Copies of this chain bind each other. A is one copy, B any other.
Amino acid sequence: MSDKPQTRIQAKNRAAILAAGLDAFSKYGFRGTTLDQIAEAAGLSKPNLLYYFPSKDAIYTALLERLLDTWLDPLIAMKADGDPVEEILAYAMRKLEMSRDYPRESRLFANEILQGAPHIAGHLSGDLRALVDEKAVVINGWAAAGKIAPVDPHHLIFSIWSLTQHYADFEVQVNAVLGREDWYDDAGAHLDALLRARLQARVPG
């Protein structure tokens, strides 16, 4: 948010702290993470760490804010003037990619929500809700135009969230059940088929 001018060393240390914090918070949760862990992983002493961020909570909040900055980008990128099915599928695929490329961020977010979203409740019922409502209008428009099968747009979006984030948030379970870790392409194909079938379903009658 705030863009204070930073020296190079400041930028480097702040980045190291955030990286270490992301690692720890996504793995152990807020309470389960200690400043010692973060300081150690960031290569700083604890007081020095607190020179960059005033408190543990500040690190966590900074991570969450940074996350929210990009978390919605894939949905924002879904444009009304594209091909409806492809737009929706592209959105789902972007989300799946994020689960692959940024699983820690996904788990950080999941943790926050699980705990009741204490830090971002406002964001959820504010920015997020507004964006989803806006995209719901788009989706309803596509359905009204006969470009996709009629569908509850909110729950469609929830479905895309859950289907994709699952691969990051429940990664250990996926790995354990499949017995291997190279399942990404299969997941993508499956997701494509699942959504495509639904969006192109003929209305009975």
**Chain A residues close to B by CB (< 8 Å):** 27-32, 107, 110-111, 113-117, 121, 124-125, 128-129, 132, 149, 151-152, 154-156, 158-159, 161-163, 165-167, 169-170, 172-174, 176-179, 183, 186-187, 189-191, 193-194, 197-198, 201
- The residue on B at minimum CB distance from A161 is B166
A173-B113 in contact given A152-B186, A193-B201 (Cβ < 8 Å): yes
Identify which of B27, B125, B158 contacts A115 (C-beta below 8 A). Answer: B27
Identify which of B173, B179, B190 contacts A117 (C-beta below 8 A). Answer: B173
Q: Is the CB of B125 within 8 A of A176?
A: yes
C-alpha spacing A124/B179, complex, angstroms: 10
Q: Is the CB of B189 within 8 A of A152?
A: yes
- The residue on B at minimum CB distance from A202 is B197
Identify which of B121, B132, B178 contacts A154 (C-beta below 8 A). Answer: B178
A176-B128 in contact given A28-B31, A155-B187, A163-B162 (Cβ < 8 Å): yes
Q: Is the CB of A152 within 8 A of B114?
A: no
Q: Is the CB of B115 within 8 A of A177?
A: no
Q: Is the CB of A124 within 8 A of B161?
A: no
Q: Is the CB of B110 within 8 A of A190?
A: no
Identify which of B110, B125, B155, B177 contacts A169 (C-beta below 8 A). Answer: B110
Q: Is the CB of A169 within 8 A of B30?
A: no
Identify which of B117, B124, B190 contacts A155 (C-beta below 8 A). Answer: B190
Q: Is the CB of A174 within 8 A of B158?
A: yes
